Amino acid sequence: METFGGMVRTSRLIYNDSVSKLNREVRKFPASAVAKASGLKQRDYLGEGARSFA
């Protein structure tokens, strides 16, 4: 179970890093215009308690 928890933490970090990059780009011009036209929106981060697998 400890290995699974580590995998979940690592996956959460990777996801949150990707969300951070997406959110930053969605706010920049001209990417913001393209994002709006294609329906891309900022995403929420996954928190520690986002899901419980216990």
Contact 46, 15 (CB under 8 A): yes
Asked if 16 and 46 touch (Cβ cutoff 8 Å), the reply is yes
pLDDT of residue 12: 95
- Mean pLDDT on 24-51: 87
Structure tokens at 42: 């900022």
Q: How far apart are the first and last CA of the chain?
A: 9
pLDDT band at 49 (very low <50, low <70, confident <90, very high): low
Is residue 11 very low, low, confident or very high in pLDDT (cuts 50, 70, 90)?
Answer: very high
Q: What is the pLDDT of residue 50?
A: 59
Which pTM value belongs to this model? 0.69
Domain borders along the chain are 9-38
HSE toward the beta carbon, residue 16, CA cutoff 13 A? 11
